[in-house]
Each structure stands twice: as C-alpha cells, then as structure tokens.
Structure 1
Amino acid sequence: MNKLVALLSLILVGILTTGCVATPALPPETEVSYTEPPLPDGAGPPTDAPEPGSTEAQCARPTASLRPTPAGVAAENAPPTPTVDAVRERGRLIVGLDTGSNLFSFLDPMTGKLVGFDVDIAREIARDLFGDPERVDFRILTSAERIEALQDSTVDVVVKTMTITCARKEEVSFSTVYFQAQHRVLAVRGSGINGVADLANRRVCAVDGTTSLRRLQRIVPTAQITTVPMWSDCLVVLQQRQVDAISTDDSILAGLAAQDPYLEIVGDSLSPEPYGVGIKKESEDLVRFVNGTLERIRRDGTWNRLYDRWLSVMGSSPGAPFPQYVD
C-alpha cells in the first residue's frame, strides 16, 4: 500500500512540474520587404551624358549619300568593288540588328524567326547581291554596339532603325534615307503626359547609345532617365510603372503601343529621325550597292509593299523618302 501511495505521489509531482515548464518562444518572424520588380539586365542611369553645352558636329546635307553605281557600265570601265566582292565570295551578308524593335526587327512568336521592316530591307540587299533573299546572317546588337560592330567588321551592314547624324557620319557611312521617323513620346492613357514638356521631373525610359537619349538629356534636363539595352525593355518597365513614359521614334513607339492598348503616342515631334543603312567608312562600293537596292525598291513598289505589311498601324504609306546624293 505504501509503495502504491509513493508511486502516485511521484506521478503527481511529475505532472505538476511539467505544467510549470514555460512553453518555448516561437522564432521571430522574418521581415518581408515588398519592392518593385527588378529592372531588366543592363538597365540603369545614362552612361553617356553629354558635356554641358555640347552639340553634335554639324555637316552640310547630312542625309546625302553616294550615288548608286550606274547599271550597264562595261566591266573594264566599272570602278573596283572590293567589299562587295568579298561579301559575294563569302556567300552570306552579315547584318546587325536587334530582336526588340517590334514592327522593324523582332521574333515572330509563331515561327521564332526574325521578321519586320528592317529585316526585309536587309533581305532585299541580299536578293540583289546573291539572287537569294535568304542568304543573310543576323547578328544581334544593342544600339550602343552598332558603330563598333561596323568599324571592326563584325557585320557588313547595320539595318537597325539607325538615325543618320553628322556625328555618326564621322565614324561610319550611311545609305540614303530608307525611312523617315519622328521623335515623340509614349505614355499611359490618362497619365497627364501629353508631350515632351510634361516629362520634366518624370521618369522616362530610353535606350543607351541612341539619338533619342541625347536629345532628351538636352531638351528635358530634369527628366529622370532610365536606360535599357532594347526598346522592348522600355515597354516592360513602363507596364510595371517603373517609369512614366518612353521617348523615341514614333516608328518604334507604334510597335510598342501595338502590344498594349493602354498606351498612346502623344505630343508633337521633337525632331525628325531619318533612318539609313550603316556601313563601314572605307566601304564606298558597298554604300553605292546598297543605294542601288534602295533605288530599286522605291521604283518597283517593294518599299510600299513592305510598309503595308509591317507599318500600316502608323497609317497609310507616305511613300519612300526621296534620295539625296553628294555626287
């Protein structure tokens, strides 16, 4: 009996002791910070801000180029064509462009192939070189890489919404103008942004290495500019409301607006943007050859067909730009 009482006493003491033990404290909750989505790779503040008061070099008739080599010239009288001959011997035309300029050069979501107005301009050059528009190798470049790629012969030509400027003509050559764009602004409908004047102290997206960036820095010095590698990246950061607007050529903005019904192009033109095919400085024969292709597609209706295929969202065809020549 005494043993039973002792056992019950031990059990009761154990229960009481256990009931007095404090429950272990839960670990502290981790603080979670909710931030904006990360910017695209390569995005950030401008890296090539101009010197205060600086202006681009000036030149007479910046869009004038070399006249095409006349057709039907006898071989013994024809000027040498070393660059064209080298491209033909290789059997492929190497073209620099990007995949983020909707309407001009982008990946078809159904086929995964590069398509667009610039892509087809490049194919027309290949057609005249080889009799085959498919003999093209594309090299993907950012806007900031275009001039270097021409200078070191990484590519034969750049067909990438490249504006002809006096400053660029000091470094590379250009064809005649194959498309005339206008610098404007893209914003969210109802945002209160109705033109370039409304970009003061607002967040604006532009691509590094473009005339659009330099003009924005000059016209709206208080704008908070974020630069990205490609214009498709600007669309992403605008949709995420990490910027308030995009400012560049209306031809590029139209391609972005076509992907989002809540966006609209606003305001007057800041400046004309004449596009030319970029070519290495020493390759005069290739400049003349490309200008011959551009002459052909103006005459035979190909230019209008390409416009109707890719750019009809911008309205009816204005017709191909009239060429200017220096010789």
Structure 2
Amino acid sequence: MTTRIAAGLLVIALLAAGCGSVPPPPPGVSVDPVAVRPQEAQDVTSAPPAAAEQCDREASLPPDPLPAPGMMPPGSTMAAIAARGRLVVGVDQNTYGFGYRDPATGRIEGFDIDIAREIARAIFGDPDRIDLQVVDARDRETALMSGQVDLIVRTYSITCERKRSVDFSTVYFVANQRILAHRGSRIDTADDLSGRRVCAVTGTTSLSNLFAMDPRPVLVGVTTWTDCLVMLQQNQVDAISTDDAVLAGLVEQDPTVEISGSSLAVEPYGVGVGKDHEDLVRFVNAVLDRIRLDGTWNRLYDRWLRGLGPSPGPPAATYGGP
C-alpha cells in the first residue's frame, strides 16, 4: 500500500468517526417564570364609593296593563323602541349560565339573555328583534345614563346607591355572595379570607362587600369573572368571591374548584332602566309578572341554571311608589 493510499484511508476513517459523534449540548439557560396578570387587573387599595342612605331597594313601580305586541302606547318609550325596530340591551358575555358566548355558535346565550328576549317578544312579538351589546360591569350605569342601551340585563344587583342614577325593575333572581377556591384549600368563611388574595370584578357589589370586611382581604380587581378564574388557576389569587350563581358557572368550567361557606351578602338582580323612563319600568315589570305566572321563569331556570339545584321559583315582586 502506498503512502498516498494509506493517508487517504486514514482521512476517510477520521471522517467516519466524526460523523458518528454527538456534538456537546448547548449551555443551559435559566429563565424565571413570569406570572402574567389579565389585562387591567389591579390591586384594590381604596374604598369604592360609599353606600347611599338606606332605601327599600327591592321596591319598583307597579306594572301597567301589558299591551299586545306591536300595539305600544303612542308616545311611550316602548313605541320609540318599536319604531327603531330593535330593543338594545346591555349584557355580559363571560358569565356562564347567565350571559356567555357559546363557542360553537358564537351566539350570546343564558338566563339573562332569555329574560331580555322575553321583553323584546312583548314589544315586537319576536324575541329576535334585539341588539345585544356587551357592557363591562363597571360601565352599566354609564351605558344607561348615556342612552347607549335601553336596558341592562346583566346579573345587576339592585342597591340604593345605584338607584340614585338608574331605575330598576322588580327582582327577577336572588343570589348569595359566597367563596370559590381550590378543593381542599380550607377557605370557607369570611375570616378565612383575612390576609388572602381575593379576586372580584371592578364595579360590583361583591368587591364593595369584600372591601368592607374587617379584617380585609388583599383584593384584586379585574374586568371579568373569567379573568378571576384564570388568576385562581395560576395561583395568583387564593379565592374568588361573588354571587353563587356566577360562581356555579366557573365551577362548570373548572371542576378542581368548589363553592364554600355561607352567604356573605344577598344580591337581588333587577333589570336596569334609565331615569325618566317610568313607563318602560312599568312595562318590564308587567313582562316579569307574566313570566312568573305562566311558567316561563321556571322553564328558563331549568334550561340554564339547573346546576344551582332545583328551581326555587321566581322571587315575589315588591311594589312601591306611585
């Protein structure tokens, strides 16, 4: 074998050995995980607006006789809505069971939505003559006062403070504020919330009730209840506290959490109406009276809220004023 051939074979052997070798791994990089908060989440350190003087918060105007669809009294708020061709209603799209966007259809559905549709049915004879506008909880009064919407049907708790700015129908649902936390967390009472990070939606009575606790939890305000659920899942908060009706929808989305404890506050829901539209308040109350009496309320409960247990029946109406 010549020297040249031997050298060539040696090069080939070295190349073959190199092809079978494994390159050393790149140096490791250590990056600390970053907890990303939902947009607009903020620590709540200042008190919400002070509560108004006491009032009979559940009392509303007595209903007028309910006119036939398409036969609204001339000059009434309902006649103006009929002439427009649509009832404009402020709703939620993030509260499962009450107002949420169905991912399969893209439609906003739920108990609140069907209450609004019954009001549209009473005006037009057609529940689909309705324009649903998504409104954040903190913007409900503004939407009514500005005329952006005719009504708010959005788990809207009636309070004396809110009645200074807007009017309400009679109560169509009664909820209780409770606690939602991870199973086994042993967070069951108001005292257990002391020093804990608790999430609630800005502009709700739930947040005001939590702020008034003594001792007070560490509060985080967000835009939607699904934001609260995300923060709980990522251990950015220890608990959520709001109406049991809302919390039940979160449990449907995440079976690793549970509702616990007794009622922290009673929350009666009403349909919000702008001031200076007393005829519309009386009309809505007439519609609510009808759906209490003809079984519609129970039918809607069974469709959307069976997870809360057997139907308690519609809450009785309380009337006051002229």
TM range (shorter): 0.7 to 0.9
CA–CA distance in structure 1, aligned partners of residues 114 and 281 of structure 2? 18
Alignment of 1:23-102 (within 5 A): 32-36=31-35, 38-46=36-44, 49-50=47-48, 54=50, 56-71=51-66, 81-102=75-96
Which digits, 9 at most, give the CA deviation of each residue in 1:126-159, with x for residues without a partner?
0001000001101111100000000000000000
Alignment of 1:249-288 (within 5 A): 249-288=243-282
Q: Which runs of 4+ in 1 moved over 4 A?
A: 27-31, 78-81
The CA deviation at 1:62 is 1.1
The CA deviation at 1:222 is 3.0
Match of 1:313 among 297, 307, 311: 307
State the superposition RMSD in angstroms. 2.0
| Contact 2:111/2:301 (<8 A) preserved | yes
The CA deviation at 1:31 is 5.7
Alignment of 1:167-206 (within 5 A): 167-206=161-200
The CA deviation at 1:232 is 1.1
Please name the residue that 2:288 is paired with.
Answer: 294
Please name the residue that 1:124 is paired with.
Answer: 118
CA–CA distance in structure 1, aligned partners of residues 295 and 45 of structure 2? 42
Structure number with greater Rg is 1
SS at match of 2:207: helix
CA–CA distance in structure 1, aligned partners of residues 29 and 313 of structure 2? 62
Unaligned runs of 5+ in 1: 1-26
1:110 counterpart = 2:108 = no
Match of 1:234 among 223, 228, 231: 228
Distance 1:212-1:126 versus aligned 2 partners, 3 A rule? same
CA–CA distance in structure 2, aligned partners of residues 119 and 225 of structure 1? 30
Moved more, 313-322 or 106-115: 106-115
Distance 1:161-1:47 versus aligned 2 partners, 3 A rule? farther
The CA deviation at 1:29 is 7.8
CA–CA distance in structure 2, aligned partners of residues 47 and 65 of structure 1? 34
TM-score calculated relative to the size of structure 1: 0.85
Q: Which has the higher strand share?
A: 2
CA–CA distance in structure 1, aligned partners of residues 32 and 123 of structure 2? 58
The CA deviation at 1:85 is 1.4
Distance 1:71-1:222 versus aligned 2 partners, 3 A rule? closer
SS at match of 1:212: helix
The CA deviation at 1:251 is 0.4
Which digits, 9 at most, give the CA deviation of each residue in 1:9-49, with x for residues without a partner?
xxxxxxxxxxxxxxxxxx9986623222x111111123762
Q: Percent identity?
A: 53
SS at match of 1:291: helix
The CA deviation at 1:58 is 2.6
TM-score calculated relative to the size of structure 2: 0.87
Which digits, 9 at most, give the CA deviation of each residue in 1:255-294, with x for residues without a partner?
1011111111111101110000000011101101111110
Distance 1:81-1:271 versus aligned 2 partners, 3 A rule? farther
SS at match of 2:209: helix
Distance 1:137-1:242 versus aligned 2 partners, 3 A rule? same
| Contact 2:66/2:286 (<8 A) preserved | no
